[in-house]
């Protein structure tokens, strides 16, 4: 029996308006009527399950950091990236008694003198099974340029030399300090200060005209004029200021607490022993670490994944060698539709003659030339699509689009497009070249937004040859090391996390999420750089400013609403760094499932179970930003994605029972005794908060 301060609620209390809406929403069964089939999906028609060309135990939608964290956790036989050194040692003691692994170890020739190998979940008489005990995983990604492909495109487009996150934020499930260890092993542990990074960016801005000329000559595929050599002179580890070390001594922290008073919030500081953790890794170091992680688990390291039709057609004709040595099948494409068959009236075939409940997924190629879609089945699905929503476009840009296209008959498509004449959303930069200024006259760019991306766009615009940049922020320009408060990012952040998990009110959790993030912010390093650029006259920062109206005719005329009235400015180009809409209902590939098996959505986030399962009767798992109601404010960060992956993997062990032989009675008794005696500190709700 857990003490009261360590318990977490079994169910969350919904807001009143969401509860009333759920009461008036008629539930739909797993097999809708014939009248609703045409309105939902053709996959719900009887007999559509026979269209599946392949069956997988797990399908992961997305190839970003959240997906890689899930794959790493599933393939790692000794996960220990969530625990301290003392807990780490205890975990190894536990694993000497019981090993839970989804993928069997590679067989090797043994001799009589060899000790009996340790059995995993799938190692029990796998020879009798046609699947050879392998846990079949499919990862499908729209970008299809390897794991973290879209991540790398965005970093190249914005010229980001270093990450914002600390060294212990990474998707490796095996070791908390894996990234730091990799830096030391590859001799990339050289340390530097933020001033070195600022000086390097200032030098790039000074050569902006040259960069702008290069940008005009580059191909459309290249999204950045910056190469790896531009960052070669920088150290691989840049210290994060105002977090640990000389900046805040014990005396200074005591002074600040006295100024706040006894009723003020207690400051959370970092132990000096964790200094090495609070450096930001370079992009080159992190990319090298990701590649090593893929090689470690035998994942596909190709720069381009095969397309859907290419892979399945080649597999059917026998012209392509199957990925036998790779535990995960990786494909380039997207999910058009997804439905759940409950196993009562309709089932999926696992390819071994077994009929059971499962998903049907309709896959489509990104290539419009390829006709027809491919249907596969799966036992479980993980949605790791990040925000995955539509870009949040300011209203003045959509209105300008409507005015410009009023006579073309394409008003609806123009309003939803992430770019238009003289403007674009920052999300387009991964696929489109950065806009270059017109030669021969002074050019001005307007950047809308108050987050880190907007600061990076300011630097990128000046590098590309713009003479002046105007940054519009609707509130204060906030500065903090991370996108959430330090207490949520610290190595020992269990205290705030336990407080969050113990709350059973959805409203209270949403308020905690908003307070911890508090809108967009820039790092102290970029805040200092922006101040320097403003002093040089290259940048104008306008806070507490919104755009009342805008017109475009070869250039922009913007009417700005400020505390002092309305002012007019002119600009050549506008970029909106306003992020994407976080709304689970806008995920088109889940529209059918949300109609047949609805779930409550609060503040754009689904109310999933503690295991991040969509519903107890539907094994669709959600990770990333959409898991925030269960994980906490850092759900979309690299570090908390490991927590999400751990919950998902633990639930998958319970759900997916791989084919295996029945062990002897003595083995069964011994195993049950070991599992019953195993400690429960794996669970997220048993973290220590005594500090």
pLDDT in tens, 97-142: 444 556 555 544 444 444 343 333 334 444 445 455 568 999 999 9
Provide the domain count of the chain: 3
- The answer on 544 and 423 residing in a single domain is yes
Name the least confident of 271-280, 472-481, 680-689. 680-689
Q: Residue 677 maps to which CATH number?
A: 3.50.50.60
Predicted pLDDT at 13: 79
Predicted pLDDT at 669: 52
Residue 675 pLDDT > 60, yes or no?
A: no
- The answer on 545 and 417 residing in a single domain is yes
The domain boundary residue, chosen from 225, 250, 283 = 283
The more confidently predicted of residues 656 and 429 is: 429
Any idea which residue has 């336990």 for tokens? 498
Q: Is residue 74 part of a domain?
A: yes
Contacts of 563 (CB under 8 A, 6+ apart): 544
Q: Is residue 418 part of a domain?
A: yes
The domain boundary residue, chosen from 541, 556, 576 = 576
The top-scoring range by mean pLDDT among 102-111, 345-354, 442-451, 656-665 is 442-451
Nearest CA among 646, 596, 600, 70 for reference residue 359? 596
Side-chain-side CA neighbours of residue 138 (13 Å): 27
- The answer on 454 and 596 residing in a single domain is no
Q: Is residue 47 part of a domain?
A: no
**CA pair distance 498, 503, nearest whole angstrom:** 9
| pLDDT tens for each residue of 142-166 | 999 999 999 999 999 999 999 999 9
Contacts of 266 (CB under 8 A, 6+ apart): 257
Residue 600 pLDDT > 90, yes or no?
A: yes
* Distant-in-sequence contacts of 667-671, Cβ < 8 A, 24+ apart: 671/98
Predicted pLDDT at 418: 86
Q: Is residue 414 part of a domain?
A: yes
- The answer on 446 and 401 residing in a single domain is yes
Predicted pLDDT at 243: 74
Find the length of the chain: 691
pTM across the whole model: 0.82
Q: Domain limits at 69?
A: 52-103+118-146+300-389+583-686
Predicted pLDDT at 438: 84
- The answer on 523 and 450 residing in a single domain is yes
Give the Cβ contact number of residue 20 at 10 Å.
Answer: 11
Residue 688 pLDDT > 90, yes or no?
A: no
Mean pLDDT of 654-677: 52
Residue 429 pLDDT > 90, yes or no?
A: yes
- The answer on 536 and 431 residing in a single domain is yes
Mean pLDDT of 341-361: 85
Band (pLDDT 50/70/90 cuts) for residue 36 is very low
- The answer on 475 and 430 residing in a single domain is yes
Backbone angles phi, psi at 246, to 5 degrees: -70, -25
Q: Is residue 25 part of a domain?
A: no
Q: Is residue 61 part of a domain?
A: yes
| pLDDT tens for each residue of 396-412 | 998 877 766 655 444 44
Contact 546, 534 (CB under 8 A): no
- The answer on 266 and 304 residing in a single domain is no
- The answer on 458 and 553 residing in a single domain is yes
Band (pLDDT 50/70/90 cuts) for residue 250 is low
- The answer on 665 and 599 residing in a single domain is yes
- The answer on 591 and 544 residing in a single domain is no
The domain boundary residue, chosen from 557, 576, 595 = 576
Contact 63, 143 (CB under 8 A): yes
Sheet with 546-553: strands ordered across: 546-553, 555-562, 565-571
Mean pLDDT of 58-72: 96
Q: Is residue 373 part of a domain?
A: yes
Helix 452-463 and helix 149-158: axis angle, to 10°? 50
**CA pair distance 52, 57, nearest whole angstrom:** 14
| pLDDT tens for each residue of 3-19 | 555 456 767 877 765 55
Q: Is residue 7 part of a domain?
A: no
**CA pair distance 420, 396, nearest whole angstrom:** 12
- The answer on 318 and 192 residing in a single domain is no
Predicted pLDDT at 370: 67
Predicted pLDDT at 337: 92
Residue 104 is given by DSSP the state P
Q: ∠ CA 456-459-461 to the nearest 5 degrees?
A: 105
């Amino acid at each position: 029996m857990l003490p009261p301060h360590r318990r977490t609620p079994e169910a969350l209390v919904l807001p009143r308006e969401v509860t009333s809406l759920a009461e008036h929403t008629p539930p739909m069964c797993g097999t809708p009527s014939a009248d609703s089939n045409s309105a939902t999906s053709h996959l719900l028609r009887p007999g559509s399950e026979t269209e599946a060309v392949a069956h997988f135990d797990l399908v992961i939608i997305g190839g970003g950091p959240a997906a890689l964290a899930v794959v790493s956790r599933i393939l790692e036989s000794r996960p220990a990236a969530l625990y301290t050194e003392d807990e780490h040692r205890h975990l190894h003691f536990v694993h000497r008694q019981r090993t839970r692994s989804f993928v069997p170890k590679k067989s090797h020739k043994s001799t009589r003198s060899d000790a009996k190998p340790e059995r995993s979940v799938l190692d029990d008489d796998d020879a009798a099974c046609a699947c050879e005990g392998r846990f079949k995983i499919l990862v499908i990604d729209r970008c299809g340029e390897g794991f973290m492909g879209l991540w790398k495109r965005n970093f190249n487009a914005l010229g980001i030399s270093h990450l914002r996150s600390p060294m212990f934020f990474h998707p490796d499930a095996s070791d908390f300090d894996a990234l730091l260890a990799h830096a030391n092993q590859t001799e990339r542990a050289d340390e530097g200060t933020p001033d070195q990074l600022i000086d390097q960016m200032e030098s790039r801005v000074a050569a902006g005209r040259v960069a702008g000329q290069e940008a005009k000559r580059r191909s459309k595929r290249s999204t950045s004029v910056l190469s790896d050599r531009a960052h070669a002179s920088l150290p691989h580890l840049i210290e994060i200021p105002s977090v640990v070390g000389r900046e805040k001594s014990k005396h200074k922290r005591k002074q600040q607490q006295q100024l706040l008073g006894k009723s003020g919030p207690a400051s959370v500081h970092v132990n000096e022993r964790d200094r090495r953790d609070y450096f930001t890794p370079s992009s080159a170091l992190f990319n090298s670490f990701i590649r090593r992680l893929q090689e470690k688990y035998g994942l596909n390291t190709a720069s381009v994944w095969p397309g859907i039709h290419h892979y399945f057609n080649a597999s059917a004709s026998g012209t392509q060698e199957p990925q036998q040595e790779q535990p995960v099948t990786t494909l380039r494409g997207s999910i058009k539709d997804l439905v759940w068959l409950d196993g009562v009236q309709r089932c999926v075939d696992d390819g071994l003659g077994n009929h059971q409940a499962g998903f049907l997924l309709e896959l489509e190629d990104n290539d419009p030339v390829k006709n027809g879609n491919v249907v596969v089945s799966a036992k479980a699905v993980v949605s790791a699509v990040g925000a995955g929503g539509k870009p949040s476009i300011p209203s003045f840009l959509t209105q300008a689009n409507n005015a410009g296209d009023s006579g073309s008959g394409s008003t609806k498509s123009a309003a939803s497009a992430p770019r238009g004449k003289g403007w674009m959303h920052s999300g387009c930069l991964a696929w489109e070249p950065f806009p270059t200024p017109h030669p021969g006259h002074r050019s001005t760019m307007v950047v809308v937004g108050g987050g880190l991306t907007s600061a990076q766009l300011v630097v990128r615009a000046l590098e590309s040859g713009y003479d002046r940049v105007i940054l519009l922020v609707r509130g204060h320009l906030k500065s903090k090391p991370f996108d959430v408060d330090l207490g949520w990012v610290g190595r020992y952040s269990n205290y705030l996390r336990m407080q969050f998990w113990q709350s059973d009110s959805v409203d209270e959790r949403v308020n905690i999420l908003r307070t911890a993030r508090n809108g967009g912010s820039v790092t102290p390093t970029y805040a200092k750089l922006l101040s320097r650029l403003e002093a040089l006259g290259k940048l104008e920062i306008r806070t507490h400013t919104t755009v009342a109206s805008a017109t475009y005719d070869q250039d922009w005329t913007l009417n700005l609403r400020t505390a002092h009235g309305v002012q007019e400015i002119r600009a050549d180009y506008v970029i909106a760094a306003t992020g994407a809409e976080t709304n689970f209902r806008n995920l088109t590939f889940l529209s059918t499932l949300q109609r047949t098996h609805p779930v409550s959505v609060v503040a754009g986030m689904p109310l999933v179970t503690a295991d991040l399962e969509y519903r107890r009767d539907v094994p669709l798992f959600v990770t990333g930003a959409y898991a925030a109601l269960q994980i906490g404010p850092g759900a979309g960060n690299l570090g908390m994605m490991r927590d999400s992956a751990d919950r998902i993997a633990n639930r998958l062990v319970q759900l997916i029972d791989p084919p295996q032989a029945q062990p002897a009675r003595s083995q069964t008794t011994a195993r049950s005794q070991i599992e019953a005696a195993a400690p429960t500190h794996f669970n997220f709700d048993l973290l220590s908060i005594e500090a």
